Amino acid sequence: MSFESIYAFATSLGCKAEFDVPMCDYTTFKIGGKARLMITPSTDESLSEVVRKCKSEGVKPMIIGNGSNMLISDKGLNTVVINMCRPDAGIRYLGDGFIECDAGVNLVKVCNFALEKELTGLEFAFGIPGSAGGAAYMNAGAYDGEMKDVLVSCTHIDDEGNFGKLEGDELQLSYRTSAYEHNGYIITKLLLKLRPGDKTAIKEKMQDLLGRRKDKQPLEYPSAGSTFKRPAGYFAAALIDECGLKGVSVGGAQVSEKHAGFIINKGGATSEDVMKLIRLVQETVLREKGVVIEPEVRLIEKI
């Protein structure tokens, strides 16, 4: 494989490309070693060409959006990281409640765009710190809403560099997963269907949900959001709290004293600190409650 060749090819297409990029600067956990090469595509077409080039060089690229649901190893990533959050990522209103947005757009911006168009249905997502593509990838949700409720289709690029689309049931949206988690394709655009609503009521609901997040979640510390998936019939945070694990630390990583479902970076946490704490929480909950809890955060070891 030749990272230099991929770099030269990407820059020739007008893409931004950098070697040895600290991933701690690109994740909400503020944790992660250096990526061998990071490419920010200039267009979807250039992304397609970069994917083809990576394949020809035997490189499997890793895709990031806002870096809000991942823990990256401090050992770094010996691969090409494709950053979907390009500066010109945009949102477009197509009429009749349909919004199209690029995958790299911040989800909060999409919520504000819907507010300005007086469209309801996406309020649940206000405050989720991810990109639109990441939200579709994991069927993000909160407060009795999820992307499944509003997502119509996704345009993507497959591992051969070809464009395609999944819509409706093809998306396989279920609790914190989608078809894209299994097929490995790169989401480039989303089509959402919302409903006409009252602007004042939409704004009030958005602010109410944001206020609840601030009251209940440790937003003042770096984290990857909810660390664990909700086990069937239980709430992960309640189980962790009942086991007396609030405030338990490993190095710079801590089970939040504010919300037991969050592991936070109190300062200087390493990926190994977080991994050890995740395992400690899992083992304790299994031993004391007989319940298996699985990480919701994507654990990305050295590639």
Residues contacting residue 274 through CB under 8 Å, at least 6 positions apart? 29, 31, 71, 250, 253, 263, 265
Degrees (nearest 5) of the Cα angle 163, 166, 170?
A: 150
Contact 139, 174 (CB under 8 A): yes
* Alpha carbon distance, N-terminus to C-terminus of the chain: 14
Instruction: Measure the CA–CA gap between 169 and 164, rounded to whole angstroms.
Output: 15
Give me the torsion for CA of 297, 298, 301, 303, rounded to 10°.
Answer: -160
Residues noted as catalytic = 176, 226, 296
- Give residue 94's Cα distance to chain centre: 25
